[in-house]
Every structure is written in structure tokens, then in C-alpha cells.
Amino acid sequence: MDCLITTNRQGGTTRAGGAPGYLTLDLSALARNYERLAAEVAPARAAAVVKADAYGLGADRVAAKLYAHGCRHFFVAQFAEALRLRPLLSADAMFFVLNGLQPGNEDACAREGIVPVINSLEQWQQWASAAQALGRKLPAVLQFDTGMSRLGVPPEERSALASLLEAESGIDVLFIMSHLASADEETSEQNGDQLAEMNRVAAAFPQFPVSFANSGGIILGKAYHGVLARPGIALYGGAPTAGRPNPMEPVVRLDVAVVQTRTVPAGTRVGYSGSHVTAETTRLATIAAGYADGLPRSLSNRGAVYHDGIRLPIVGRVSMDSITIDISALPEGRLKLGSLVEVLGPHQTLEDVARHAGTISYEILTGLGHRFERRYR
Ligand SMILES: *Cc1c(COP(=O)(O)O)cnc(C)c1O
């Protein structure tokens, strides 16, 4: 398929082969982002958060690449994600399940050497029972809620947990952790509040090292790093801090193919419900991606795509499988059947698309569908 694609000066593609679109993932940029974050947190270690198929980019390729660049700690959300990735990496790679275990997964988890994050006393008891039944120690990470009310042992259960820790449980706690709710907002006072709470937890459980920072937390500074940082979005090129220049390298590029072009007179309705009506003679192109491919319907009449650096606004509603764009700004005949337009790339970042769609980069990235052809550089 590669031989059917021509490459332009920016390294992007201008013409499609047979695919409706190309999701191009720059694994070297991913590795450089990892190394940059690892250097930032040194002497602490940097893990990689590869949940949700590495934010939609392909967890097997991402994990293998990061392993080759020294990463040994991989966080997923669900046990099934760890189960799939575990055999792909050497035994010294560790997999942590952020949501902890659903009842019934304990034996498989123990057998595969996957480490659950224990979020509640109930999960602790289940993991302790599994250890007892197997007659051996089982590893775990302990998560504390420091102010997000999402996952982790709440403050009022800390003393009960301390008692459980004193008894012989068969659980080997590797480290304790918590998660920041506002790390991407530098000036949020929630960061300092959570840090103070994390320090209280660390003082109450001084026998364990701490893991705290996500991407944004790394940028907040040393106090947030603990011994193991857990970046996700920044690895994949997303901005770790809102409203600041993004220090990370872009990893993802998305080009989508044109499937039809037309010229319409003034007063022509475009798309479902005719929500756009042309003001003058307009050249339009329809491209082969829609909300089923992860380009949200909220981009209707708002977002844009690019070609040769020229902005081509989205006109009318985003459909399930297609979007119509106004290509009047381009020379006539420039775009034809099979031409590619840039959705994500040098002229439009993830954050740009997210802003137009009224969401965050995470949701755009994890939503990019599976109908694009993936290419790894
Ligand atoms: C998703 C997640 C991360 C990674 O967060 P980013 O903001 O993508 O860096 C880290 N820790 C926990 C507990 C998470 O759920």
C-alpha cells in the first residue's frame, strides 16, 4: 500500500491508496517524548500509561517501543488489557491494572504475574483471599483517594487499612499511589491540596514508595514526582498543561481522503438539516470520515481541515461516515477523488480539534476509529 502514497515536503501524504484515511504514528517521536519525560523525573522512573489501546494508538506497538527505550512499568485500566499485552514483553516488564480486579479475575491475574491496583478494602480482601488460596505472596499497588472521589481508599478507611497491613495478609505492596484531578491546570489550588494529602498518606504509610504524577503532574515539579511518574497523554504528543506551549513532539497525524467534489451556487443547502447554506458560489469536497471515525458531531460548522497549509472549513453537519468541507480557498482542481486532507498534523494539533469540538485531546485521541489505515513510522 505504501507505494501508492506520495509524500509531500512536510512528510505528509497527499494522495491516498485504497484507504479512507491514514493514521500515521511516529514511534520515534513517541520514544523521544518518553525519554524527555524520563529525564524530567530522574532519578524517579517514568512508567507509561497504555490504557485504552495506548490512547487509541495501538498498545502493542507503543509498549514494545517504550520497552526498547527503557520503560518497565506499564499501566492499563482493565485486566483484559494487561492480559493481552503481558505476553508481548519480557518478564521484567510490569503491568498494573488501575481499575483493580473484577471478582473472578484473581487467579488469572496471579498466574500471569499482573499487578492489581487495590482501590478499596473489598479489593484488598479479595486479593488477600487469592494469596491465601494459592499459598504464596501476591504483589499489589495501593491507591489512595486524595481528593478526586473516583478510585482509591478514602480517608475514612485509612486506619482500617493500616490494621489490615499489620496482619499477615499475603499481599506484597510494591508502592502506593494517587491521581491528580487538575494537574493540567497549573494554577488550580486542587494540586497543592492533593499534594498535601498525598504527603499525609505517605507519612502514615512510610514503609512504601509513592507514585503520583500523571503528565501534567510531571510539569508541576519534583514535589509531585514520587518514585514513579505515570504519563499518558504527553507520551502521545498531547499537551500536558492547558494554555501553555506544548513541550511534547506530535506523534499522530491523520489524513483523510476526498471521495467527491462539486461546485454549488449561492443558496445551496449542505448536509443533514441543511444547517449550512452557501452564501456564494462554493466549491465543496466530501471526505471519508465522520463521527463513527471519532470526529465528533460537535465539529459541525465549526472545525476545519487543511491542505497545503490552507484552512478548509467544515460546512454543515458532520455525518456518520463523511464530512463536507469548503475548498474554495484552494486553486480549482487541486483536490480530487483520492486526494488527502490533513485533519491532524503540522497545521492542526489535537488540542485545536478538541477545542473546536468542545472536548479534550484525550477524547479525540481515544476516539479515532479503526477504519483508518494505521501506519507506523
Ligand atoms: C490515565 C491515568 C494516568 C495518565 O494520565 P495523563 O493525564 O494521560 O498523563 C495516570 N494515572 C492514572 C491513575 C490514570 O488514570
> Which of helix, strand or coil describes residue 304?
strand
Which residues, 6 or more positions from 174, have their beta carbon under 8 angstroms from its beta carbon?
115, 139, 140, 141, 208
Domains of the chain: residue spans and CATH: 28-236 (3.20.20.10), 250-376 (2.40.37.10)
272 is annotated as an active-site residue = yes
Asked about 336 being catalytic, the answer comes back as no
Report the largest interatomic distance among the alpha carbons of the chain, rounded to a whole angstrom.
79
* Residue among 75, 177, 363 whose CB has most ligand 1 atoms within 8 A, to mutate: 75
Supply the DSSP string of 352-366, one letter for each residue: HHHHHHTS-HHHHHH
Residue 309: C-alpha distances to residues 14, 303, 305, 328 (Å): 12, 15, 9, 14
pLDDT by residue for the chain (377 residues), tens digit each?
A: 333 444 444 444 566 678 999 999 999 999 999 999 999 999 999 999 999 999 999 999 999 999 999 999 999 999 999 999 999 999 999 999 999 999 999 999 999 999 999 999 999 999 999 999 999 999 999 999 999 999 999 999 999 999 999 988 899 999 999 999 999 999 999 999 999 999 999 999 999 999 999 999 999 999 999 999 999 999 999 999 999 999 999 999 999 999 999 999 999 999 999 999 999 999 999 999 999 999 999 999 999 999 999 999 999 999 999 999 999 999 999 999 999 999 999 999 999 999 999 999 999 999 998 999 999 98
CA angle centred on 241, ends 237 and 246, rounded to 5°: 45
Q: How far, in Å, CA of 145 to CA of 140, rounded? A: 16
Q: Kindly state the DSSP code that residue 314 receives in the 8-state scheme.
A: B
Catalytically annotated residue among 22, 34, 51, 236: 51
What pLDDT is recorded for position 17?
Answer: 77
C-alpha 254 to ligand 1 mean position (Å): 24
Query: Which value, in Å, is the radius of gyration of the alpha carbons in the chain?
Result: 24
pLDDT of 14: 60
Answer yes or no: are the C-beta atoms of 130 and 108 closer than 8 Å: no
Identify any residues that bridge with 140 across adjacent strands, giving them in sequence order.
173
Q: How far is 316 from 155, CA to CA, in rounded Å?
A: 50
Minimum-distance ligand 1 atom for the alpha carbon of 238: 8
Mutate to test the pocket of ligand 1, among 34, 41, 49 (most ligand atoms within 8 A of CB): 49
Question: Helices 59-68 & 27-41, crossing angle to 10 degrees?
Answer: 50
Whether 136 and 113 have beta carbons less than 8 Å apart is answered as no
Counting beta carbons within 10 angstroms of the beta carbon of residue 238, is it exposed (0 to 12), middle (13 to 18) or buried (19 or more)?
buried
Reading the block at residue 300, the C-alpha cell is 459541525
- The pLDDT value recorded for residue 15 is 66
| Catalytic residue (one of 137, 222, 272, 336) | 272
pLDDT at site 266: 98
What is the residue type of 174?
L
What does the alpha-carbon distance between residue 99 and residue 79 come to, in Å, rounded to a whole number? 8
Q: Collapse the DSSP code of 81 into the 3-class scheme (helix H, G, I; strand E, B; otherwise coil) and give the result.
A: helix
Q: What is the rounded CA–CA span in Å between residue 316 and residue 6?
A: 30
Lookup: cell for 306: 487543511
Q: Which residue has the cell 483493580?
A: 100
pLDDT at 43: 97
Closest atom of ligand 1 relative to the 235 alpha carbon = 9
List, in sequence order, every residue forming a beta bridge with 314; answer none if it has no partner.
325
**Backbone φ/ψ region at 283: left (φ over 0), alpha (ψ -120 to 50), beta:** beta
> Cα(114)–Cα(101) distance, rounded to whole angstroms?
10
Handedness of CA 347, 348, 350, 352 (dihedral sign): positive
**Peptide bond connecting 43 to the previous residue in cis, omega within 30 degrees of 0:** yes
Q: How far apart are CA 39 and CA 75, in angstroms?
A: 19
- Tell how far CA 1 is from the center of its chain: 27
Cα distance from N-terminal residue to C-terminal residue, the chain: 14
Distance CA 212, CA 216 (A): 11
